[in-house]
Each structure stands twice: as structure tokens, then as C-alpha cells.
């Protein structure tokens, strides 16, 4: 905010004095407007973030503590006969708080978990297979790798839920604190934050490019920067501030349908031979993106180039930092029901 304010003062001063600089008048005005918009976005993020932190800090459930002095019989009788005493399922003797019950159904959680796993990055997996193989038989070992690494990831996701169930942890960091130790609990928190930051950066790039092209198709020429600011302000920030993910299930289903549509289109083009050696669309593909047709099949999985696919798969199923949230938000969150969500997804 300070840097934007300094730039704004400089530009307005230049405009008032009429000094000849490399910046034209119109460009200077555009920069001023851009700086004002950036400052407004940053300020809004700080305000909403502060409200969110304050809400989490001060609106906690009241603790139920042991009484310092014994009550008299009349006080105890009056206490039990009161119609305003709330019922609680369980209470911790000192500093405890009542856990909120989850509301998400199994289908809701499946849609959300599948969408958390299957994003735009799934479209890069064919490139991972093509890195070592250029014959159809290369798909077989690739499918086995996808299944094996997916099973390992599912077990890890299930294990985090079991830890939360056994320890009462409500976050990835808290689960680490109660099992490994508090001195190193910053490690999973830092790695999860960094991973989410990089993922959000990648998705922001995809959203900016995609929506810029979509809007230009409707005759709306908007700069990539303004598209990104608009999406961030109107869509992404409200989503980041949501405390319950169950309401996103319909949109997760819509995203899954979009991926299914993409797979269907790819399947149609594969079977009709549009991109085959004599395909009608092959000539329109850029030279560096054209498919190769050779004899590197299933045996090519033993080459070092297959590590490219393995590296992709090591992060393809990554949603484990949200495992505690999925477990807590599941209605009647038994381990059996939670594992049903994980296995189905």
C-alpha cells in the first residue's frame, strides 16, 4: 500500500507540473487508476482477512470449567430445574469446548474431494506418459503407476483422518502436534502453505488466460491483469474465506462434468483418427506439439524418463492438508464413513 501511495503521489505530481517524461498523459492516468485499484484490492483483503481472524479468535465456544466452590443443595436443585440450561454431549473438565457436528453428506464430500484431486493438472498426465513412450502399449504400465500411487495417497489421506479421530485434532498442524510434537509442527503448516500458494498461482495463471480468451470471444477486450484482478476480487477471495466446503458440492460436480466433457472430446478425436498420421487436424498442430508414433511401448517404463510421470503423480492426488476438514465436516463422521468417501473418490 505504501509503495502504491508513493507511486500515485509521484505520478500526480508529474501530471500537475507538466514535466516531460517517458510516460504520456494517458498512460499516467491508466497507471494511477491501476494503482488505486490495486490498493483497494489489498485493503479489502486485509479487512476481510482481519475480520476472519478476529471471528476465529473471539467467537469460540465457551469453556466448561470445574467450579471452584461446591454449590448448595438449593443452588444445585435450581440449576438442574432451569429450562435454559443447554444440553451438551460431552465436556472437557478444563479448557474444553464442544465440537461442532459435521453436516456434509458422503456424496457431497466425494464431489468435493474428487474436484480437489482432479484439476486442470490432470491434462498434463498424457504428456508425462509421452515423455517415455510413444506406442499405445505404454498406457498399461502408466495405468498401473497411476493406480499404485493413487492407492498410497488414499491410504495417507485415510490415515490423517484416523489420527484426527483418535486425538481430537481439527487441523493438519494440530494432528502433527499431538502425534509428533509441537516443536516441529511448523513444518507441515509451512509446506502446506507453500504448496497451496504455488497451486493458487498456477490456477490464477490458467484462469486469467482462459477468461481473457473467453471474453475476447464475446467481443470484450480486457487486459489479462484486469481479468485476474476481477476474478480474484469477485470469486477467489470469497471462496478462500468460506469456513465450510459442503456448499461447494454443486460447483465441484460442475467441474467434474467439465473434465468428463474434455475426456469425451479427447476420446472422440482419438477414435476418429483426427490427429493420427493422416488425420485432418494434424497439420494444424504446432510442430513442437505434434504426437510422435514409434515403438517405445510398455518396456520403456524402465527408462529414466518415466520418472517425469512419477513426479507428476506424486502431486496429482495431493489434497491431504484438507483431510482434517473433510473428516470434521462429514455428517456422523465415523472412520468407516470417512473411508467410504476416500475409497470412492
Q: Please tell me the predicted confidence (pLDDT) of residue 280.
A: 87
pLDDT in tens, 133-163: 888 899 999 999 999 999 999 999 999 999 9
- Range(s) of the domain holding residue 298: 104-180+245-344
Beta-ladder partners of 330? 104
C-alpha cell at 124: 498434463
Q: Which residues contact 235 (CB under 8 A, 6 or more apart)?
A: none
Domain assignment present for residue 256? The answer is yes
The stretch 33-44 carries a mean pLDDT of 65
Angstrom CA distances, 60 to 57, 258, 333, stand at: 7, 39, 22
Distance CA 303, CA 220 (A): 48
pLDDT of residue 161: 94
Distance (Å, whole) CA 338 – CA 331? 9
Looking at residue 284, its pLDDT comes to 85
Inter-residue contact 297 to 135 (CB < 8 Å): yes
Asked whether residue 336 is assigned to any structural domain, the reply reads yes
Q: What's the domain count of the chain?
A: 2
Backbone dihedral angles phi then psi of residue 104, each to the nearest 5 degrees? -75, 135
Does residue 165 sit within a domain?
Answer: yes
pLDDT at 330: 93
Residues 158 and 261 in one domain: yes
Q: Per residue in 232-286, pLDDT tens?
A: 899 888 888 887 777 777 887 888 888 889 889 989 998 998 888 888 888 888 8
| 194 part of a folded domain | no
- Whether 142 and 42 map to the same domain: the answer is no
Q: Does residue 36 share a domain with residue 131?
A: no
| Structure-block grid coordinates of residue 196 | 497451496
Q: Evaluate whether residue 98 is within a structural domain.
A: no
Q: Sorting pLDDT into bands at 50, 70 and 90, what band is 35?
A: low
| Cell (9 digits) for 113 | 474431494
CB 96 within 8 A of CB 64: yes
Amino acid at each position: 500500500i505504501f509503495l502504491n501511495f508513493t507511486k500515485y503521489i509521484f505520478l500526480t505530481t508529474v501530471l500537475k507540473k507538466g514535466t516531460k517524461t517517458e510516460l504520456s498523459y494517458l498512460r499516467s492516468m491508466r497507471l494511477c487508476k491501476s494503482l488505486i485499484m490495486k490498493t483497494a484490492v489489498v485493503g479489502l483483503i486485509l479487512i476481510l482477512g482481519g475480520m476472519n481472524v478476529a471471528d476465529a479468535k473471539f467467537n469460540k465456544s465457551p469453556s466448561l470449567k470445574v467450579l471452584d466452590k461446591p454449590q448448595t443443595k438449593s443452588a444445585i436443585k435450581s440449576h438442574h430445574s432451569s429450562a435454559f440450561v443447554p444440553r451438551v454431549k460431552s465436556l472437557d473438565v478444563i479448557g474444553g469446548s464442544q465440537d461442532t457436528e459435521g453436516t456434509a453428506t458422503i456424496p457431497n464430500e466425494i464431489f468435493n474431494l474428487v474436484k480437489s484431486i482432479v484439476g486442470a493438472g490432470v491434462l498434463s498426465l498424457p504428456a508425462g506418459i509421452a515423455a517415455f513412450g510413444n506406442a499405445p502399449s505404454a498406457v498399461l504400465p502408466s495405468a498401473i503407476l497411476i493406480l499404485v500411487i493413487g492407492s498410497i495417497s488414499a491410504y495417507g489421506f485415510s490415515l490423517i483422518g484416523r489420527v484426527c479421530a483418535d486425538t481430537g485434532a481439527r487441523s493438519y498442524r494440530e494432528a502433527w502436534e499431538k502425534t509428533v510434537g509441537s516443536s516441529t509442527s511448523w513444518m507441515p503448516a509451512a509446506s502446506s502453505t507453500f504448496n497451496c500458494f504455488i497451486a493458487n498461482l498456477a490456477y490464477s495463471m490458467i484462469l486469467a488466460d482462459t477468461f481473457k480468451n473467453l471474453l475476447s470471444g464475446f467481443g470484450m477486450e480486457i487486459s489479462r491483469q484486469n481479468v485476474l484482478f476481477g476474478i480474484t476480487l469477485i470469486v477467489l477471495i470469497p471462496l478462500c474465506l468460506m469456513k465450510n466446503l459442503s456448499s461447494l458440492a454443486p460447483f465441484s460436480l460442475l467441474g467434474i462434468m467439465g473434465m468428463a466433457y474434455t475426456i469425451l472430446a479427447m476420446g472422440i478425436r482419438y477414435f476418429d483418427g483426427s490427429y493420427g498420421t493422416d488425420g485432418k487436424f494434424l497439420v494444424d498442430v504446432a510442430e513442437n506439439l505434434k504426437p510422435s508414433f514409434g515403438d517405445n511401448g510398455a518396456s520403456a517404463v524402465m527408462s529414466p524418463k518415466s520418472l517425469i510421470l512419477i513426479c507428476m503423480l506424486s502431486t496429482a492426488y495431493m489434497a491431504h492438508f484438507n483431510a482434517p476438514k473433510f473428516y470434521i465436516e462429514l455428517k456422523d463422521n465415523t472412520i468407516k464413513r470417512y473411508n467410504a468417501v476416500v475409497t470412492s473418490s
